[in-house]
Every structure is written in C-alpha cells, then in structure tokens.
Amino acid sequence: MSHAEPEHDHEPVHGLPEVLPAGERIVWQGAPHWQRLAIDALHVRKVLVYFGLLIAWRVADVLGGGGGAVDALLAAAWTLPLAGIAVGLLMLIAWLMARSTVYTLTNRRVVMRVGVVLSISFNLPLARIASADLRCHADGTGDISLALAGPERIAYLHLWPHARPWHVRRPQPTLRALPQARSVAAKLADALAAAAGQARQPLAAAGTLATGPGAAPAGRVLAA
C-alpha cells in the first residue's frame, strides 16, 4: 500500500513510515548528492551542450549569410535567457528531489522515501534482493542498483529518477548519486551477506557488489 503526505514532520522515524519493529535497527541513512543527481538523472550537461550547439549554429548561420560579428552575437543572444531558465529549473528540481529523498538501510530491508509533492516509501526486504550493483564516479559519488527477485515489480515511472537507467522492462530500484558510495555499498554488502548467511564478497569499484538471498520466498516488495 502507499502512504503519502507532503510534509515529513510527523514521521515516527526520520525517513520511515513507521516505527521499526523489535530486532530491526538502522544501519545507514542518506540522500542523493543533488548536483550529481542533476547531471546523471536530469542531464544538465547535455542541456548545456544542446544550447551551446544552438548558439553556435545561430552564429554560423548569420555569419554565413554575410552578417557581421555583432549581428551574429545579437541573433544568438536570445538563447542565453532560455538556457539559463532551463538549467536553473533542472537544478532546482534536482535540489528538491534530493531534499525530499531519504534512503534507509536496516538489517532487514532497504527503504526509499521519495517524491517531491507526493511522498511514497518503498520497502525492499533484503530477502527479495537478488543482487546489488555499484557504479562509481571519479568524485566518489555513485549509484547502487538493486535487482529484485520474484515476479513483483515496481513500475519504472513510479521509481524514476531512483531507478537504474534503461532497465524499463525489469526496473531496478537505485540509490542514486550517493556521496561516499563505496562506503554505503560496503554496508549494504554486509547486510545482504548476513541476510543470506554468507561471507561478504570482495567489493569492486563497479559491477555486482553483493548477491542477496533473492530466491527466498519470504518478504514482499511494498510501497508503504
């Protein structure tokens, strides 16, 4: 089921829709790095490149038609406010997304509280996580994607931008733009290994960081 409220002041536990049951404890909590989220999820750099190409095309078109440098600059100038507005809106959206998101890892599940206007929490029991994949960036941020076992799925649009890009048919919930992603990955790998009763696998810079208990029938993927 879903639990939605615009504000989070009345959460029983920060980032969680309910008080943790006996025996469950929080291992880690965090949120996306909003600048990295703007780059990776909202493609701010690509938008800047697009406007740069548009400006270059306008300048080249005027110069090719016999106009002077001043004419070319004036013809291209109208795109600058549009570029500023577009990039500014994307940066604002990324900031709001990061501000309203809380990722929580407990010894039993991963909880993703997401949504700028309508808040939704996805409960992902460790028993339903088949594997987790880490993708790191040079600045230390990174994404951790969770492959879920079983037939139940969360719609890609419900997850976005907290979903692995291009995995639309089998969406993978993703902890996006994590600061110190390797440290978070190590904690998740330990939790998955403990849930599966296995020793933790060596942590690589990218690729599969852990294989979870996945095939176990216990647990359900819920939005709470």
* 168 plus 63 within the same structural domain: no
Q: Please tell me whether residues 69 and 164 are part of one structural domain.
A: no
Q: What is the pLDDT of residue 123?
A: 95
Question: Is 51 a member of any domain?
Answer: yes
For residue 94, the number of C-alpha atoms closer than 13 Å in the C-beta half-sphere is 21
Residue 5: pLDDT band with limits 50, 70, 90: very low
Does 163 fall in a domain? yes
Judge if 87 and 121 occupy the same domain: no
Residue pair 110/126 in contact by the 8 Å Cβ criterion? yes
Regarding whether 152 and 62 lie in a shared domain, the answer is: no
Whether the Cβ atoms of residue 177 and residue 40 lie closer than 8 Å to each other? yes
Least reliable range by pLDDT among 69-78, 103-112, 118-127: 69-78
Same domain assignment for residues 205 and 111 = yes
In angstroms, the CA 85 to CA 48 distance is: 11
188 lies in some domain: yes
**Average confidence (pLDDT) over 151-165:** 92
- pTM (2 d.p.): 0.84
Is residue 47 in some structural domain? yes
Instruction: Kindly report which listed range (18-22, 31-35, 151-155, 198-202) carries the lowest average pLDDT score.
Output: 198-202
Q: Do 147 and 217 fall into the same domain?
A: yes
Q: Is residue 12 one of the residues assigned to a domain?
A: no
Mean pLDDT calculated for residue range 27-41: 97
Closest C-alpha to 195, from 170, 164, 218: 218
- Answer yes or no: is 148 within a domain: yes
16 in any annotated domain: no
Q: Which of 34-48, 127-141, 204-218 shows the lowest mean pLDDT across its residues?
A: 204-218
4 in a structural domain: no
Determine the residue type at 209: L
> Into how many domains does the chain fold?
2
Domain that holds residue 135: 26-32+102-223
